[in-house]
Structure formats: C-alpha cells, structure tokens
C-alpha cells in the first residue's frame, strides 16, 4: 500500500528560520558565494531540516507525533534552495512494507527534490492507527 505524497515548499526564508531555531548558521545554508566556493551547486537546506519535513509527513500519516516509534535516514544529496520567492519542493512518499502483529507499521520512505532522491535508506515504524 502506498501512502499519499506530501509536498513541502522550502525557501531561503525557511532556512533562516531553521538556522535561528537550530543554531546552525553555517554559511552554506545562506550564502551562494560560500556554498559554491566549497563545491556545492548553491545554498543547501540543512539536512536535519529536510529530515524534519519528512518527519512531519510521517506524523501526518500516523495521526500523531507520538505514533512515530522509529525513524532513520541517510542523506543522499543536498536540497539546493534557489534565491527566489518560490524556493524548491520536497516530495515525500511512503510504501507500507509490513504491518506487525504488535500493531506497528513499517514504512519505506522516499524524499525527492527536483526528481532526485535526497534521502536513502529512509525507513520508519509507526503505531498503526486503531
């Protein structure tokens, strides 16, 4: 069974807000000059911000934040965020891999940006809604 795709827009303003909340003011998350100077294609979203957006999708599917029992990812590629009002989009989808006798649902999760996977080995376990 496939869960409905959720789409999250990410703008430079979101990156600034996340930097303030997380304390991660690394200039690769706000300066094109620095980002391209270290070999990146441009300013990139914080990996943990990307992971948090996927977590938001998981809590939506599960019905509550405390229904997410386990969640793991590997970062596959950066989410490049252009310096415009539109930003970019992260699309999150998931497929049910297993429903256990204990009432847990194991999910294989996919997150893409511009058609490219940004996370690999993304898996979650959620309590199955009653």
Domains of the chain by start residue, with CATH: 2-127 (3.10.129.10)
pLDDT tens per residue across span 41-87 = 999 999 999 999 999 999 999 999 999 999 999 999 999 999 999 99
With bands split at pLDDT 50, 70 and 90, how would you rate the model's confidence at 128? confident
In the beta sheet, which residues pair with residue 54? none
CA proximity to 78, closest of 109, 103, 46, 106 = 46
Instruction: Give the whole-angstrom CA distance, residue 130 versus residue 128.
Output: 6
Q: What is the pLDDT of residue 1?
A: 85
| 107 has pLDDT over 90 | yes
**pTM to 2 decimals?**
0.93
Average pLDDT over the chain reads: 96
DSSP letter, residue 57: H
């Amino acid at each position: 069974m496939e869960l409905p795709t959720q789409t999250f827009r990410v703008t430079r303003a979101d990156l600034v807000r996340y930097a303030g909340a997380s304390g991660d003011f690394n200039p690769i998350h706000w300066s094109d000059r620095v980002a391209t100077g270290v070999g990146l294609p441009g300013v990139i979203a914080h990996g943990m911000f990307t992971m948090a957006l996927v977590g938001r999708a998981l809590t939506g599917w599960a019905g509550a934040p405390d229904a997410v029992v386990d969640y793991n990812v590997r970062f596959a590629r950066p989410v490049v965020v252009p310096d415009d009002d539109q930003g970019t989009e992260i699309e999150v989808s998931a497929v049910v891999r297993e429903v256990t006798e204990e009432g847990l649902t194991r999910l294989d999760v996919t997150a893409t940006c511009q058609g490219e996977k940004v996370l690999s080995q993304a898996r979650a376990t959620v309590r199955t809604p009653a």
